[in-house]
A and B are shown apart, each in its own frame.
Chain A
Amino acid sequence: MSAETQNTLTHATYTKASSLRIAWLIAWRQMVEAIRTRSALVMTGFFLVFQTVLVWISLGPMLQGPLSPRGMIFAGTFMAFYLLFVGLMPSTPAIGIASGVFAGDKERGCLTPLLVTPASNTAIFAGKVLGAVLPALAYSVIGILVYLAEIALLYGPDKLALLPVGLSLLILLVIPALALLGATVASLISSRVTTFQSAQNYSSLLLLVLWFALLGLVFLVSIWGLWVFAAVVAAIFALDVLLIVVGANTWRREEVMARQ
């Protein structure tokens, strides 16, 4: 060992980084790890190809050629429904990722080094959840952009104007709300179970509930109109915030260690 190295083997005291910065560091690392997960990438790629083909087959005959006023309304509603579909479908793998943020890391032994840092419980929990949500949102944005680009390229940019503005905006809001809900609940499940397998099982159940809720939402909109949809979107966001706050305030690294 060199003298230089020998000298550096002393002790130091550093000022702890702020909880916000630590949460961001953890989230960023979590996101990069999630994006690097091959299975998630493969699933996202599959969804993108699937949605492209689906849009081409199902919307193609409707959007080619001149449309009657009634046909324009019908096509616009159909396009909005697809917008919801393509926005949420790519975020599905992210729920799988979220279910591994605690349980998966614990199984791989990656969680203990993080828990032994001076990072607060809130910073760790918030960072982990944010790290699970961000890839979900990124995949959703990619899905939506690919969808809109496909319509513009295959059928002309003017066809995008067929999308009903109010409904489309609410759909663009409900996508992150639902992705956040899925990822948050999956993270909460992941933080409270002992194995990744359990986390995935419970998260699959969650996914099923979410898809049924989505179908119910579509049904509600068709019957009760946009105001109900807006209220539901607001309620989902409120639920997201509530879950994150409750999760961050109740999660304790001790419980994780005690369950090991």
Chain B
Amino acid sequence: MIEAHNLTRRFGTITAVSQLSLQVPDGTILALLGPNGSGKTTTVRILSGLLAPTEGEAIVAGYDIHRQPDAVRAHVGLVTDVPGLYEQMKVTAYLDHFGSIYGIPPAERTHRIDTLLELFELDKHRHEKMVGFSKGMKQKVALARALIHEPPVLFLDEPTSGLDPIAARTVRELIVRLKRSSRSIILCTHDLDEAERLADQVAIMRQGRIAACDTPTILRNQATGETRVHMEFADTCPLPLETLQTIPGINSPRFIDAVQSDSSDGHHPSLVLEYFAAQPKVVNPQVLTRLITAGAQVISVECATLSLEDVYASAMGVSDKQQTDNQSSIDEAKNALPAHRER
């Protein structure tokens, strides 16, 4: 269990973490999302007993980070994006070294090392020096090191950073297994997909503060509470936007393919309609009825809730307009590329 209240950490005049509060129950994963410098790593360092907070309190695995930092460190495991191994050592000797520092009795240490090597599928490499290991294997050793003393709390600071997709998947599977063993896990990541797949809760950090924190589903719903609807037509939409805006419950309707479908006579055929609706089950039938009555040939209707990426961008202060502009710029660049080639 991790419980933090109003944690603040200042480095001189810079506030790295500000008034941060969070709770991670046993058997759950909290993903900390945020850009570089948003305070994720500082948060992890505070909670793992490496840095004292300037203000605030936290209890980690039942120990107070102010009064019992040694006990906190004895009950947490930390993995960073850099495995940080003594690479000239063999895996078993390396794990044994850390096991000794944690005070694990020799017989238990040996058993524990065997178990971890089996868990991480490293038993075949037990007599090899780690210098020849791949990044994925080194990261597995780092995870094994973090688990050698069987900590109830784990901090994983970008553990899949720099790993190839297969190695990253293996590490993610291991993280899920660790969660099932009733550990409280904080996972710092830039990978939104990873956060969405692994985490029970997602906290989005911005400038040292938690901008949003909840389950991925609730975060998505909280962002706007609306569903985005894309309606595609075989031909131009027969109703103008002004008419569509009169339908109760329809929000921000617009045609999103006008530029791409620019015709030679200056008429912009409206092939895709986008709008938002808080109650799509009520609004969509009304919109469809009005359109079909007006002679629209609807090819498809697609409803999408916001992705975690949208929520993240929203929390980061990137507006929907900016996202659209960015996407338009990308689309324009993509469109310009073949034209340029043709010239």
Q: Which of chain A's residues has its CB closest to B88's CB? A: A36
Segment of A94-102, A112-120, A186-194 engaged in the interface with chain B: A112-120
Point out the residue from B74, B80, B147 that lies within 8 Å of A16, measured CB to CB: B74
Is B219's beta carbon under 8 Å from chain A?
Answer: no
Known contacts A5-B119, A29-B97; decide if A118 and B102 are in contact (CB<8 Å).
yes
Is A243's beta carbon under 8 Å from chain B?
Answer: no
Is B225's beta carbon under 8 Å from chain A?
Answer: no
Assembly CA distance A108 to B85 (angstroms)? 8
Q: Are B150 and A117 in contact (CB under 8 A)?
A: no
Assembly CA distance A138 to B92 (angstroms)? 27
Which residues on A sit within 8 Å (CB–CB) of B48?
116
Within 8 A of B (CB), among A221-260: 253-254, 257-258
Within 8 A of A (CB), among B139-167: 142, 145-147, 149-152
Which residues on B sit within 8 Å (CB–CB) of A108?
82, 84
Assembly CA distance A192 to B76 (angstroms)? 26
Point out the residue from A6, A17, A29, A258 that lies within 8 Å of B103, measured CB to CB: A17
Q: Are A14 and B74 in contact (CB under 8 A)?
A: yes
Q: Are B86 and A29 in contact (CB under 8 A)?
A: yes
Is A9's beta carbon under 8 Å from chain B?
Answer: yes
Which residues on B sit within 8 Å (CB–CB) of A110?
84-86
Q: Quick one: which of B85, B147, B181 has the most chain A CB within 10 A?
A: B181
Within 8 A of B (CB), among A107-143: 108-120
Known contacts A14-B104, A110-B84; decide if A116 and B73 are in contact (CB<8 Å).
yes
Is B294's beta carbon under 8 Å from chain A?
Answer: no
Known contacts A15-B103, A254-B50; decide if A116 and B76 are in contact (CB<8 Å).
yes
Known contacts A33-B88, A109-B84; decide if A13 and B118 are in contact (CB<8 Å).
no
Q: Quick one: which of B86, B177, B178, B180 has the most chain A CB within 10 A?
A: B86
Is A170's beta carbon under 8 Å from chain B?
Answer: no
B311 vs chain A, min Cβ distance (A): 30
Q: How many residues of B contact A (CB 8 A)?
A: 48
Q: How many residues of A contact B (CB 8 A)?
A: 39
Known contacts A1-B119, A254-B50; decide if A12 and B150 are in contact (CB<8 Å).
yes
Which residues on B sit within 8 Å (CB–CB) of A13?
74-75
Q: Are B50 and A253 in contact (CB under 8 A)?
A: yes
| Interchain Cβ contacts within 8 Å, total number | 112
Q: Which of chain B's residues has its CB closest to A16's CB? A: B103
Point out the residue from B70, B119, B150 that lies within 8 Å of A10, measured CB to CB: B150
Which residues on A sit within 8 Å (CB–CB) of B118?
2, 4-5
Q: Which of chain B's residues has its CB closest to A21's CB? A: B100
B179 vs chain A, min Cβ distance (A): 10
A148 vs chain B, min Cβ distance (A): 32
Q: Are A14 and B149 in contact (CB under 8 A)?
A: yes
Q: Are B84 and A116 in contact (CB under 8 A)?
A: no
Q: Quick one: which of B80, B146, B150 has the most chain A CB within 10 A?
A: B150
Which residues on B sit within 8 Å (CB–CB) of A12?
149-150
Contact with B along A1-45 (1 / 0, CB 8 A): 110111011111111110001100110010001001000000000
Which residues on B sit within 8 Å (CB–CB) of A29?
86, 97
Q: Quick one: which of A4, A36, A118 has the most chain B CB within 10 A?
A: A118
Assembly CA distance A113 to B76 (angstroms)? 11
Which residues on B sit within 8 Å (CB–CB) of A11?
75, 150-152, 182-183
Known contacts A16-B70, A16-B102, A257-B51; decide if A109 and B82 are in contact (CB<8 Å).
yes
Q: Are B177 and A22 in contact (CB under 8 A)?
A: no
Point out the residue from A5, A6, A36, A117 that lies within 8 Å of B73, measured CB to CB: A117
Assembly CA distance A95 to B177 (angstroms)? 45
A45 vs chain B, min Cβ distance (A): 18
Which residues on A sit within 8 Å (CB–CB) of B49?
116
Which residues on B sit within 8 Å (CB–CB) of A253?
50
Point out the residue from B11, B73, B83, B151 that lies within 8 Å of A109, measured CB to CB: B83
Is B107's beta carbon under 8 Å from chain A?
Answer: no
Known contacts A5-B119, A29-B97; decide if A258 and B145 are in contact (CB<8 Å).
no
Contact with B along A39-82 (1 / 0, CB 8 A): 00000000000000000000000000000000000000000000
B18 vs chain A, min Cβ distance (A): 17
Assembly CA distance A226 to B304 (angstroms)? 89
Is B101's beta carbon under 8 Å from chain A?
Answer: yes
Q: Are A113 and B11 in contact (CB under 8 A)?
A: no
Is B220's beta carbon under 8 Å from chain A?
Answer: no
18 extra interchain contacts, Cβ-Cβ under 8 A, other than A9-B150, A117-B74?
Answer: A2-B118, A6-B181, A8-B112, A11-B150, A11-B183, A13-B75, A21-B100, A25-B97, A25-B101, A36-B88, A113-B142, A116-B50, A116-B73, A116-B77, A117-B73, A118-B74, A118-B102, A258-B11
The 8 closest A-B pairs by CB, nearest first: A109-B82, A109-B84, A9-B181, A118-B74, A12-B150, A11-B152, A17-B103, A14-B103
Can you list 9 residue pairs at the A/B interface with Cβ under 8 Å? A12-B149, A16-B103, A22-B101, A110-B85, A113-B78, A113-B146, A117-B73, A257-B45, A258-B51
